[in-house]
Copies of this chain bind each other. A is one copy, B any other.
């Protein structure tokens, strides 16, 4: 039965970078940022010391931000940075060249925006059975892979499936690929997050019971996530934030003839907001003076009772998932196996 996996659609596995943006704190000094041509890599280790700032689990976080992945040059640069980040994470976690790995693709292969994990698995090089036969030349690592599907289809908790497989296969570490929800439109299909802090398939924060992590599985867990869906509340909130920026920008450029001519195509988002609290309230009323958290709560309360808080994905999602899964699988292959020849 092609039941719709509702549990999956309630994911709120926010990206770390989303949190940071929400907090509006000046924590940029804590993050190691490297800028490439069209790609940015942000690295951070959360420990007991800085943990309360981020309200996240301890671990290494590496976030790659990029533009249109269907552009060839962007694609290549993202792949290079992604391989770099993966190697760094292996270092951070003391994973050696000969450590064996089980690669897990979470998600429902029949639901396009949730099919990233399974699609990556389709193109990952697997050697575990060949090692059993002694048929593997040097330069290749021991790898196995798996698609646990989703609980709505199997009737089994994803964590139970993975836990039992880990006990049987006994890999030295795990790589888990999943689709995430974003709390920011601009990151949709334009961010890859790598982290060692674990993952909660199809569930919200605080549900430890189903977590896939070093704590629950007793081996290092690298999770690779791409935000592919966003809810209506987020879309409205992002629009509201940009509405204020746009008005501020327009006011400041009222007499700027040059700007006026191009203003319809200009990226106003980097403009410093000069609206006073009074101006803001005049323009947007009491609602306009709410802080972001309260505004989001209000919008949620408007949309949820009438089933308007859709979780949505861009219409181009089929093509984006194709590109993203190809990039992630080939990067994983190159990172895991010294001798991997990328030519398909």
Name A residues whose Cβ lies closer than 8 Å to a Cβ of B: 1-4, 9, 70, 72, 76, 110-114, 121-130, 143-147, 149, 151-157, 160-161, 163-165, 167-169, 185-186, 188, 229-230, 232, 235-236, 238-239, 242-243, 246, 263-269, 281-288, 298-299, 301-306, 308, 310-319, 322, 326, 341, 343-344
The residues of B that contact A169 with a CB separation of less than 8 Å are 156, 160
Q: A111-B315, A315-B313 are in contact. Are A144 and B122 (CB under 8 A)?
A: no
CA distance A97 to B263 in the complex (A): 43
CA distance A308 to B167 in the complex (A): 42
Q: Return the contact of A4 from the options B3, B242, B319 (Cβ within 8 A).
A: B319
The residues of B that contact A315 with a CB separation of less than 8 Å are 9, 111, 113-114, 229, 311-313
Q: A153-B126, A232-B235, A303-B239 are in contact. Are A72 and B160 (CB under 8 A)?
A: no
CA distance A145 to B1 in the complex (A): 11
A286 touches B283 (CB 8 A): yes
B312 touches A267 (CB 8 A): no
B111 touches A306 (CB 8 A): no
Q: A72-B343, A125-B1, A169-B160 are in contact. Are A302 and B242 (CB under 8 A)?
A: yes
The residues of B that contact A319 with a CB separation of less than 8 Å are 2, 4, 110-111
Q: A285-B282, A285-B285 are in contact. Are A123 and B1 (CB under 8 A)?
A: yes
B147 touches A149 (CB 8 A): yes
In this complex, what residue of B is CB-closest to A167?
Answer: B164
CA distance A152 to B186 in the complex (A): 25
Q: Return the contact of A145 from the options B153, B160, B314 (Cβ within 8 A).
A: B153
CA distance A168 to B318 in the complex (A): 31
Give chain A's interface secondary structure class: helix
In this complex, what residue of B is CB-closest to A308?
Answer: B185
The residues of B that contact A316 with a CB separation of less than 8 Å are 4, 9, 111
Q: How many copies does the complex hold?
A: 4
List the 4 closest A-B pairs by CB distance, nearest first. A128-B155, A285-B285, A144-B155, A312-B312
The residues of B that contact A317 with a CB separation of less than 8 Å are 112, 313
A246 touches B287 (CB 8 A): no
The residues of B that contact A286 with a CB separation of less than 8 Å are 282-284
The residues of B that contact A145 with a CB separation of less than 8 Å are 153-155
CA distance A92 to B270 in the complex (A): 57
CA distance A163 to B164 in the complex (A): 9
A243 touches B302 (CB 8 A): yes
Q: Return the contact of A156 from the options B144, B232, B310 (Cβ within 8 A).
A: B144
Q: A153-B126, A155-B128, A164-B167 are in contact. Are A308 and B186 (CB under 8 A)?
A: yes
A310 touches B129 (CB 8 A): no
The residues of B that contact A128 with a CB separation of less than 8 Å are 154-156
Q: A185-B232, A242-B306 are in contact. Are A129 and B112 (CB under 8 A)?
A: no
